[in-house]
Every structure is written in C-alpha cells, then in structure tokens.
C-alpha cells in the first residue's frame, strides 16, 4: 500500500498539544512513522576485512581470482597420468619412471609430465602440466627410480582443478548479505582485504527521569536502576547499529533540549526513554514537540504494553520516546524502531518465526488495545503449550525469560485456556530446555536448578503456583511440578491431590511463617494468635501486608489464616518468597507469609505458622527422561541434602 505524505500529515492534528495521547491503531501508527522517513541505507563505506564481521554488503562481490588458482593435489602421493595406471592392481602392478624431484605445497610446478612418468607431490601441491590424476601414497611402492602402481586411478581423481570452487568473475556474495564468519572466510579466500558495506546507523540513547540512577550506584529510596539504556544499546548492536549512550537527564527542560539537539547533530536516530505521558514530570514530549519537519507524527498507540509511545521525525531523522517501563520500551522498540534501523543499515527485514501453541491458562485482555502477551513455551505430548508470563510492563525479567509472545487483537476480551494461538518467537528459533519445572517457587528449588545448570542441564522455571503446577503435571505439560498443597481434612501435604498420571517424589520440609522487621513491636515477642488478631483488626490499617499470587500454596495458607479478611496490601501479589522478604525489608510492607530461609537471608524476624512439605510431582510419562533422572539423583545426593539443610530446610 502506498501512503501519500501530504495526506497523512493533513490528517494529523495541527496543534502539537492536541496530538499527545491521540491514541491510534498500531498499523496506522507504523504507517505514519514510516511515511515521514526515507527508508533507504544511509551510505557506503569501505572497511578492512578484519572489521567487517556483522556488516551488511553495499555491493555485489565478484571474484578477481580463481579458487583454487592452480590445479591442486588433495592427497599426499604422486602426480601421474591416469592412462598409465589402467589395469594396475596389487596382484598385477604397473610401473612408471619416478622423477627425482618432488612438489611441496607452495612450490610452483615447472616442466611437463610425460607419459610413463610420475612425480611425488604433497597435499596442496601444484599439479604439473601433463598430469591428470593423483595416486595416493598408500596405493603405491617405490623401488629405486621406479614407482610401482598398485591401484588404477581415473583422470581427475585427487585433483581440485583451478576455478572449480570459485571462478574469476563469479558473483561470490550479493549486496545486502550480512557478513558472518562464513562470508568473511570467502572474502579472504579470494584475496579481498577491504569490503564495501553500508554505514552503520548511529543511534543516540538518552534516559530521563529524576528517579533513574546508573547501575553501580548505591540504591536509594524511590530510585530505579537504568536498565533500558543497556538493553536498547545491545539491541542496536544486534541490529548492526552504533549505539551511543548520552547518559541520564533529570527532569530539566533546558538540559534535555540541549542534549537532544546535540544528539541530533551527531546521530541518525535518537531514542529517549521515559517522559512520554502527560504527567507533570514527563518532559520528553514537551521538548520533542518543538521539533519540526514534520515533528511529532504519533503520540499514543492502542497497544498493551506501549500505549504512550511517541514518534517524531525531524530532518529525516527519527526521534522516538519509548515508554519508561522496561517491557513496554523493549516491545515498542522492536515493533517500530528496530525495522527502521535495519533498513538504515542496509539489512534485510528480520524473519519473524511464528509457531502454533495451545494457551495453557485463560487470559483476559483489555478491549480497544492490541495486547502483546509474553509466554513461555512447554513441549507436551500434544504439541506446544503457552504459559502467560505476566508481571506487566514494569517487569525487567519477563522479556528475557519469555520464549515469544501472542498478539491479542484489540477487539478480543478473553482468550480461553486450550485455545490455539500463534506465538511469535523472540530471538532466533525455539530452544526447549532440558527440564521444564512449573509450580510453586522455593529457594531450595532455585538451588537445585542451579546445580543442574552446572552439569549442563538447562531448565525453565514457571512459578504459577502449586495448583497450576499440579494441573500442568497431570496434563504432562511439564517434567516436574513443585507443590505444597495441604489437605485440610487429613492434614497431609500433596499426596491426596495426585492422580494415576503422576507420581510423588519426596522433597523436603520447610517452615512457613510470618516475616517482619526485627524490633517492630507489633510483631516482636508476640504470639501467633495476637499477631493475627492485630493484622486483621480494622484499626490497624497502617499495618501493611504483602500477599502471594493466586493459586500458590502460600496464598491458600494466607487466606486460611486471615479467615476472609483482606488487610491493607492484600492486593499486592508477588510470585515468590524472595519478593515478600524484599518488600518487608525495604519497608514497602510490614508483614507477609513466607518460608524461614528467606527470613534468615534478609535478616528478618520469623514467627512459625506451619510446618509443611515441599514435594515434586512428576508425570509418569516423563519419569524416564534423562533430565528428570538427573534431578532425582541430585535431590538424593548427600552433599545436596547437606546444602539444603544449611539453607534451612528439613531433608
């Protein structure tokens, strides 16, 4: 489809302020952005071959020499005429005169090999004129000046003739090829020491916000480490661009304006991270709105994550304000900016591999916004199963751990469990881990999986809770499920919930209890009953809890303990014990339920609530898999048991 620039710009509101968060469809946003750009490579340059890896060729490469450039022997042996060997065998050998000289690799062959003659030659040696075959040394014998031929060879045997690999004038590599070690090897083979490539796009990266601090600095209250600049810079490198990090700019309009102009003068693309919304401290869009020719073309895209994306063009250069939240920033970069950088650098469009899978869990989506749902893929007997990763646009780790994402159309509100979806893979191809673990989180399990990794057994851990993990095991969607489910009637853990399709592998005991900061008089030295009465009393609204995710075994214990009361902080639902301890240690919460080992590791107070079993459920159909056997052996190993005991578990 062809888009007329004048028509598109005419459709954009005249007032810059009116454009802000004028939310439009994803495809329309891409069309506006691309229509304002000249999507052609930025120019050519010649670089030394030693620096050409990863660069994109700007012109076809034609061979200026033959490869090989001479008739070359493939074996140690003797250059002969094939006709002189016909009829030869061990029982009935033939003889020819052996010339006294020999042909080593790198030595030019002079003279002419006459009929009835042979000459010794090394692998890689130059075959003399007149010879048309190589007799291997093991098929011959030398008697004074005679060569005894014990096997016949046909003309052409053992010789790589000049130009049979590459012929002079042949097109060896074509423009647009991204040079890997294979291509640079070819260029070296034809004698090229310089190559013409497309110039790499220069990409400026600016982080903004009073809350942003650089990695390596001490963490302070309300601060966030700048992860976006690192992931964006490395993504630019992967795309063949040259990133330059301009640093962190606080929310000061004058400083940001000056840095933006300096970055534009030196760069082909400018990326700003954060400050794209309409909040008081969101200054990026206020500075970018001053750009012209044409200026802002999009501000607000009906995406989840990524709604506040702002895209501008000035003087043919893209200026993009990416959302500050990491997942939003990464998604919008790869959707809208990465293809432009590839085109600027003369690279072909990236192949986006999509594979079918079955959604493992029901997912709700927001009507009116195209949603990108990150998923982890698990191989089952019926195919691939896609588990939603969750955690939202602010998550730093979700994108790195996901295998791909599902695009949920803007008019779809619910995607049911069991529905087939198309998963666009992240990165190059799908690499299924050796061991798939789904279920409840435990520090002990983290230790076990790390030990397996050291034994070259890779794993994927999806912490979706004990209940979901048990169901995944029963459906044979995982190799192992970590569970701690209490049967209220029997008081026994886990065994009552099994089926014929799975078996239980005993794990270890652990203590669940209330975590709190030492010295907090609301908890220190008080009984469990007193604490529960306090935290469930309406008057204690300033006593903030941190909950656990729905479906986890710990969440079941919490709800049982609270008896239907939902104290302040109940809605905060991290998916692991470490996050509970961190929230309390950082005074974001005052108490929560977690295992004793994380309390000890974080210097927190701990009041036992319940001794429980953390066991492993394994589908019987997967019991004999090597990775599963390795896990069970590790679990039973004496040194492993000692380490688990040191971590506070009862083995």
DSSP structure string for 554-612: HHHHHHHHHTT---TTTT---SSHHHHHHHHHTTS-SEEEEEHHHHHHTT-EEEEEEEE
Phi-psi region of 194 (alpha: psi -120 to 50; beta: other; left: phi over 0): beta
CATH number of domain containing 89:
2.170.190.11
Residue 349 falls inside a structural domain: no
Domain boundary among 307, 323, 344: 344
Q: How, if at all, do strands 117-121 and 94-103 pair?
A: parallel
Nearest to 480 by CA among 453, 447, 449: 449
Q: Quick one: tokens of 35?
A: 């229509």
32/55 same-domain check: no
- Of 312, 344, 376, the one marking the end of a domain is 344
Question: How many alpha carbons lie under 13 Å from residue 285 in its C-beta half-sphere?
Answer: 27
**Phi/psi of residue 528, nearest 5 degrees:** -60, -45
Judged by DSSP in three states, 305 sits in: coil
Whether residue 95 contacts residue 148, with contact meaning beta carbons closer than 8 Å, is answered with yes
Looking at the whole model, is its pTM more than 0.85? no
Number of domains in the chain: 5
CA distance 306 to 308: 6
**137 and 228 part of one domain:** no
- On whether both 209 and 179 belong to a single domain, the answer is no
One domain, residues 271 and 226? yes
Strand, coil or helix: what is 73? Answer: strand
CA distances, 263 to each of 73, 232, 244, 258 (Å): 58, 16, 9, 9
For 460-484, the DSSP string reads: EEEE--HHHHHHHHHTT--SEEEE-
Rounded Cα–Cα distance for residues 430 and 422 (Å): 14
Tell whether 639 and 491 lie within a shared domain. yes
CA distances from 239 to 165, 201, 229, 311, 483 (A): 32, 9, 15, 20, 42
Residue 633 contacts by C-beta under 8 Å, 6 or more apart in sequence? none
Identify whether 516 is part of a domain. Answer: yes
Question: Which position has the token pair 């999806």?
Answer: 462
pLDDT confidence of residue 13: 39
* Secondary structure (3-state) at 382: coil
Residues 53 and 76 in one domain: no
pLDDT at 471: 92
Q: Do 411 and 529 have their domain in common?
A: no
For residues 276 and 312, is the Cβ–Cβ distance under 8 A? no
Integer Cα distance of 127 and 240 in angstroms: 44
Domain-embedded: residue 437: no
Q: With the C-alpha atoms ordered 217, 223, 227, 230, is the resulting torsion angle positive or negative? A: negative
Domain CATH number, residue 408: 2.40.340.10
336 φ, ψ to 5°?
-115, -35
Same domain? For 451 and 572 the reply is yes
Residue where a domain stops, chosen among 133, 160, 187:
160
* Domain carrying residue 121: 72-160
Yes or no: say if 74 and 153 are a contact pair by the CB < 8 Å rule.
no
Cα–Cα distance list, 606 to 452, 510, 602, 646 (Å): 30, 13, 11, 17
**Separation of first and last alpha carbons in the chain:** 66
Determine the Cα–Cα distance for residues 604 and 615; give it in Å rounded to an integer: 26
Nearest CA to 630 out of 472, 451, 495 is that of: 451
Please list the residues that pair with 198 across neighbouring strands.
44
Answer whether 272's CB lies under 8 Å from 208's CB: yes
Question: For residue 22, what are the contacts with CB-CB under 8 A and spacing of at least 6?
Answer: 13, 299, 300
Q: Is residue 165 part of a domain?
A: no
Block residue for tokens 């993990």: 469
Residues 230 and 191 occupy one common structural domain: no
Alpha-carbon distance of 325 to 135, in angstroms, equals 70
Quick one: CA dihedral 515, 521, 525, 530, positive or negative?
A: negative
Helix (H, G, I), strand (E, B) or coil at 283: coil
Inside any domain, residue 432: no
What DSSP element (H or E) covers 433? none
For residue 393, how far is the Cα from the chain centroid?
A: 17
Q: Could you give phi then psi for residue 330, rounded to 5 degrees?
A: -65, -45
Q: What is the pLDDT of residue 275?
A: 57
Beta strand spans in 518-604 (E): 545-546, 591-595
Tokens of 403: 């295998």
What are the φ and ψ backbone dihedral angles of 190, each rounded to 5 degrees?
-100, 10
Q: pLDDT digit string (tens) for 27-37?
A: 899 999 999 99
Answer yes or no: is 436 within a domain: no
| 208 and 176 part of one domain | no
Pairing, β 545-546 against β 591-595: parallel
Q: Which residue has the tokens 């074509």?
A: 174
| Distance in angstroms (rounded) separating the CA atoms of residues 257 and 272 | 12
CATH number of 57's domain = 3.90.105.10
The verdict on residue 560 lying in a domain is yes
| 368 and 296 within one domain | no
Q: Where are the alpha helices (DSSP H) in 274-379?
A: 284-288, 326-332, 338-344
Given a cut of 70, the residues of the chain with pLDDT beneath it are: 1-21, 275-282, 390-397, 427-430
CATH assignment of the domain containing 571 = 3.40.190.290
Task: Report the helix count and the strand count for the chain, using DSSP H and E.
Answer: 18, 35
Domain containing residue 259: CATH number: 3.40.980.10
Three-state DSSP class for 576? coil
Q: How far apart are the C-alpha atoms of 150 and 280, rounded to whole Å?
A: 92
* Residue 23 backbone dihedrals phi, psi, to 5 degrees: -65, 125
Q: Would you say 201 and 316 are in contact if contact means Cβ atoms under 8 Å apart? A: no
Segments of 14-169 assigned E as strands: 44-48, 61-62, 72-73, 77-80, 94-103, 117-121, 133-136, 140-143, 146-149, 159-160
What Cα–Cα distance (Å) separates residue 154 from each residue in 126, 159, 444, 518? 18, 11, 68, 89
**Which two structure tokens, joined as six digits, stand for 83?**
């006709």
Q: Whole-angstrom Cα distance, residue 590 to residue 393?
A: 26
8-state DSSP, 107: P
- Angle at which helix 638-646 crosses helix 443-454, to 10 degrees, equals 140
Does 277 reside within a domain? yes
Residue 112 CA, distance from chain mean position: 60
Same domain flag for 76 and 154? yes
């Amino acid at each position: 489809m062809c888009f007329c620039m004048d028509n598109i710009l005419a459709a954009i509101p005249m007032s810059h302020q009116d454009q802000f968060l004028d939310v439009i469809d994803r495809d329309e946003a891409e069309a506006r952005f691309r229509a304002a750009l000249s999507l052609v490579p930025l120019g050519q340059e010649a670089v030394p071959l030693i620096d050409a890896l990863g660069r994109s060729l700007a012109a076809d490469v034609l061979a200026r020499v033959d490869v090989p450039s001479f008739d070359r022997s493939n074996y140690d042996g003797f250059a002969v005429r094939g006709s002189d060997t016909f009829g030869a065998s061990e029982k009935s050998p033939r003889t020819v005169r052996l010339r006294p000289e020999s042909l080593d690799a790198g030595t030019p062959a002079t003279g002419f090999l006459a009929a009835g003659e042979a000459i010794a030659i090394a692998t890689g040696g130059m075959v003399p004129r007149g010879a048309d075959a190589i007799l291997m040394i093991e098929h011959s014998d030398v008697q004074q000046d005679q060569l005894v031929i014990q096997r016949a060879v046909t003309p052409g045997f053992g010789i790589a003739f000049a130009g049979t690999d590459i012929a002079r004038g042949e097109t060896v590599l074509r423009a647009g090829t991204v040079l890997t070690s294979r291509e640079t090897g070819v260029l070296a083979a034809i004698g090229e020491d310089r190559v013409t490539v497309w110039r790499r796009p220069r990409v400026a990266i600016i982080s903004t916000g009073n809350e942003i601090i650089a990695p390596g600095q001490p963490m302070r209250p309300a601060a966030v480490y700048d992860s976006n600049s690192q992931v964006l810079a490395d993504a630019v490198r992967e795309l063949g661009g040259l990133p330059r990090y301009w640093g962190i700019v606080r929310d000061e309009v004058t400083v940001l304006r000056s840095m933006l102009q300096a970055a534009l003068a030196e760069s082909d693309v400018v990326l700003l991270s954060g400050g794209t919304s309409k909040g008081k401290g969101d200054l990026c869009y206020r500075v970018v709105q001053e750009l012209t020719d044409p200026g802002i073309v999009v501000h607000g895209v009906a995406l989840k994550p990524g709604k506040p994306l702002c895209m501008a063009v000035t003087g043919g250069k893209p200026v993009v304000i990416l959302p500050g939240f990491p997942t939003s920033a990464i998604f919008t970069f790869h959707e809208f900016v990465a293809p432009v950088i590839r085109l600027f650098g003369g690279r072909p469009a990236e192949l986006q591999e999509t594979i079918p899978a079955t959604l493992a869990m029901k997912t709700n989506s927001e009507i009116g916004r195209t949603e990108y749902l990150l998923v982890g893929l698990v191989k089952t007997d019926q195919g691939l199963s896609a588990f939603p990763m969750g955690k939202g646009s602010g998550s730093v780790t979700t994108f790195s751990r996901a295998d791909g994402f599902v695009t949920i159309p803007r008019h779809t509100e619910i995607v049911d469990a069991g529905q087939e979806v198309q998963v666009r893979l992240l990165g190059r191809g799908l690499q299924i881990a050796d061991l798939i673990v789904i279920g409840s989180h435990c520090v002990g399990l983290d230790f076990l999986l790390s030990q397996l990794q050291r034994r070259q057994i890779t794993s994927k851990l999806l912490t979706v809770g004990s209940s979901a993990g048990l169901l995944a095991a029963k459906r044979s969607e995982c190799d192992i499920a970590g569970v701690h489910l209490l049967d209220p009637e029997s008081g026994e853990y886990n065994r009552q919930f099994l089926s014929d399709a799975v078996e239980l592998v005993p794990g270890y005991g652990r203590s669940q209890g209330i975590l709190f900061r030492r010295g907090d008089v609301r908890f220190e030295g008080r009984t469990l009953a007193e604490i529960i009465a306090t935290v469930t009393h309406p008057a204690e609204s300033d006593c903030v809890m941190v909950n656990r995710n729905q479906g986890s075994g710990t969440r079941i214990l919490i709800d049982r303990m609270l008896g239907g009361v939902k104290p302040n902080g109940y809605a905060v639902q991290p998916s692991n014990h470490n996050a509970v301890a961190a929230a309390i240690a950082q005074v974001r919460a005052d108490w929560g339920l977690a295992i004793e080992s994380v309390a000890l590791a974080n210097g927190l107070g701990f009041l036992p609530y319940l001794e429980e079993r953390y066991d492993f459920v394994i589908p019987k159909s997967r019991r004999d898999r090597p990775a599963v056997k390795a896990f069970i052996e590790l679990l039973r190993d004496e040194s492993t048991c000692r380490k688990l005991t040191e971590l506070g578990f009862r083995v």
